[in-house]
Structure 1
């Protein structure tokens, strides 16, 4: 017999869906040359991302990196025989690590990206050597393509898994997933500390760059 159990906390769900909105908005503002808006969105993403990485060490069981870190062999075995899992499956865990890493690279490279404009230049441009700035700018342009490829693969895998095995998309909305009555529900933490950390980081970014950027909107 299957029952619904709470698998994902609010912090994980808000972070997950905020990435969908922010990545789309960042892609649009970057292509349209709306660089003040682009940077403000990037700092918002940075706050959410840093807090999520911290949450991966002290947050709910299913949010912790130690919970879904797996060997490559375990990931291959899972892909050969997929089945519902309470949390990220071994293969999905690798995608999460990849996306978090690529997003981190995108934000760090963006801080040092040169775009021939005081508004759109990253805040670290004036402090770095020209070669480093040039490298960061190239990485920033290339890395977004890698992110979009990973996102596309992630979406297709989630749709396929939801149709064939378990509704992982719905679970990421409601936080609840089907499990057998014998399965032990994962221990979840209250998400208030995640959102408190996001608020602190947003305040820091606002005082550092945000107040100045708002003048150009």
Structure 2
């Protein structure tokens, strides 16, 4: 009988799937010009992202950046000879860091982006015009890069789940059957991650969200 080992905590899984849903929502609202909703979703994503970045330093072993950061040589070796690991594998770590960077840049640039008609980011008035212009151009390009990277990530996950280890189902229930028991480390309780998400959401609501919600109610 195959025994499933718990390798991903609720914080990692919640971030993974909520980021996907929020990015879809951000793409749709941005494409349709629903800028109030777009900004609210952006602040929500910022909350779960900043909390995840902090969780990457003090959270469960499999969630820590130091645990799955890998050299190119190690990533290439894993790509050629995949073996089950406790958490994210060395090859996927590069895509994870790339997506974290791209999403972070997208959120930061959004704060300084303007459409010169109806919507300005909350920091537009505080930064030089050339910075606003650069941020606006990047924000338009950034979403395309995120979509491309996400599609590559999804394709790689499907291929890996088909050929080697079912990482897609593992990211849903947090367990993998192929991992050796000796490599499995106890997972931390995720309650502090969700507290951080709540704290950051309250901050963004206090800073910008309350006005956006009032505008949506008119």
Q: Which TM-score tier does this pair reach, normalised by the shorter chain?
A: over 0.9
Q: State the Cα distance separating 1:216 from its structure 2 match.
A: 2.0
Check conservation: 1:3, 1:180, Cα contact below 8 A.
no
Give CA-to-partner distance per residue, 1:61-116, whole Å, 9 cap, x none. Answer: 00000100110111111111122222111011111111001010000000000112
The answer to whether 1:109 aligns with 2:109 is yes
The answer to whether 1:145 aligns with 2:110 is no
Change (3 A) 1:16 1:69: same
Q: State the Cα distance separating 1:129 from its structure 2 match.
A: 1.1
Q: Which runs of 5+ in 1 are unaligned?
A: none
RMSD value, Cα: 1.2
Q: Which runs of 5+ in 2 are unaligned?
A: none
Give the structure-2-normalised TM-score.
0.96
Aligned to 2:96: 96
Q: State the Cα distance separating 1:182 from its structure 2 match.
A: 4.5
Change (3 A) 1:3 1:117: same
Give CA-to-partner distance per residue, 1:17-53, whole Å, 9 cap, x none. Answer: 0011101000000000000000000000000000000
Aligned to 2:197: 198
Q: Partners of 1:182 and 1:88 in 2: how far apart?
A: 16
Aligned residues: 216
Give the structure-1-normalised TM-score.
0.96
Q: Partners of 1:20 and 1:180 in 2: how far apart?
A: 26
Check conservation: 2:15, 2:52, Cα contact below 8 A.
yes
Q: Partners of 1:182 and 1:148 in 2: how far apart?
A: 36
Structure 1 residues 4-153: aligned runs within 5 Å? 4-118=4-118, 120-153=119-152
Task: List, as ranges, runs of 4+ consecutive aligned residues in structure 1 with deviation greater than 2 Å.
Answer: 179-184
